[in-house]
Amino acid sequence: MALVLFNYDLDENSYKVRLALSMLQVGHETVAVNAFPGKEQETPPFLAMNPMGTLPILRDGDLTLFGAEAILAHLARTHDGSGRWLPVDGAGFAHVMQWLVFAAGDLSVASRARAHALFGTPGDEAALRAGARRAIGAMEDAMTVNGFAGQDWFAGPAPTVADVALFPAFALSRDFGIDHDAYPALRKWARRFRAIPGFLTMPGIPDYH
């Protein structure tokens, strides 16, 4: 049975999963969800799959998953024969997981800031932007340190699902007023990320030169 992704094209968490599916060359079906303005993901059929009322949702046979980072881990484990995207060794696995936790936690404020700017969702604009800047600043600091160590990616010598989970929040942050020129290490990383085979863009994703 084909994988089915319940997706909204302008949702950055759905974009993470689309990126992973493309980079891993995983065949799938996509079901469009009217997230804005319809809030279809909050209707009973979708709440039966994801009681949190959020996107994306992935159906893989009898397995239904929600939460972009959980879906990324599942796809890497089940569709990456190389083991590169989610390493099995303890240290490599832990390094990826700490960034997946960061993406789902501290960095999620960037998604809320963007949704507030684009769709008028509730929130304190100044607080959301300040929180997003702190989280993106932490990414900039980490990638700067990695650069001094000759490491091009967040969690190891090659791209992993950690990079997939982190890319959209930075790349789409101009939607709520973040100046990418202030983050040179992330700009270089984003340029490398765009060169990964299978990269997909979406509205709002800039080119990096």
Q: What are phi and psi of 64, to 5 degrees?
A: -120, 130
pLDDT one-digit tens code per residue, 141-199: 999 999 999 999 999 999 999 999 999 999 999 999 999 999 999 999 999 999 999 99
The residue type of 2 is A
29: which strand partners? 4
Mapping DSSP onto H, E and C, the string for 96-147 reads: HHHHHHHHHCCCHHHHHHHHHHHHCCCCCHHHHHHHHHHHHHHHHHHHHHHH
Tokens at residue 131, please? 């929180």
| Of 153, 200, 177, 195, residue with least CA distance to 15 | 200
Q: Packing angle between helix 161-171 and helix 90-104, nearest 10 degrees? A: 30
pLDDT value, residue 2: 84
pLDDT value, residue 60: 96
The highest-level CATH class for domain 90-194 is: mainly alpha
Could you tell me the residue ranges of all domains in the chain? 3-79, 90-194
Residues of the chain below pLDDT 70: 1, 209
Q: Which CATH architecture has domain 3-79?
A: 3-Layer(aba) Sandwich (3.40)
